[in-house]
Amino acid sequence: MAEVNRRPATVGFLFKNSMNELVKQLAQKEPHYIRCIKPNEEKNSSIFDVERVEHQVRYLGLLENVRVRRAGFAHRMPYDRFVNRYKLICPQTWPNPRRGQQLRESCWQILEHVGLSADCTQGRTKVFISSPQTLFQLEELRTKQLPQVVTLLQKVCGEIDTNNNKMKKE
């Protein structure tokens, strides 16, 4: 019987395997966001620079974040980002909302179409979502809709390509 000569695993192979294992472990974890505030530039525990701390708190948006969380909302998103991300879920907003329709209206149409408007509140410039599950449901619906959107785009591109070929022949 012939002996099989196996080469030792390469550094690249070992690195790839360890990265895959790390990604698997990270996917199973729940992320927690920790915002660090430096009390001073000198790294001295007895010095507290109030102006520096106030600037960091404002820059990180901590006060707004605390207010939103205390009000019971897990997530907030500007209307334009919300509509651009989730408009494909709702026939009234896909591919584009009606002319003259405000982003706020489009946002509410999307939420009502999927039956999640009770979990959300509208602000002046943002929609506030009360539970992470609502956000997960929106993402799931969006993910389910993406293959249909891709198919539609492929069809349109194919038609354009066919029309261009016909024009070249003429």
Residue type, 102: Q
Tens digit of each residue's pLDDT (9 = 90 or more) over 101-154: 789 999 999 999 999 989 899 999 999 998 888 888 999 999 999 999 899 889
Spacing of C-alpha 3 from chain mean position: 52
25: three-class secondary structure by DSSP = helix
Tens digit of each residue's pLDDT (9 = 90 or more) over 11-36: 999 999 999 999 989 888 777 778 88
In the chain, the domains with their CATH numbers are: 74-155 (3.30.70.1590)
Please give the structure tokens belonging to residue 89: 């879920």
- Give the pTM: 0.57
Please give the structure tokens belonging to residue 79: 């209307």
Q: Of 111, 63, 62, which Cα lies nearest the Cα of 85?
A: 111
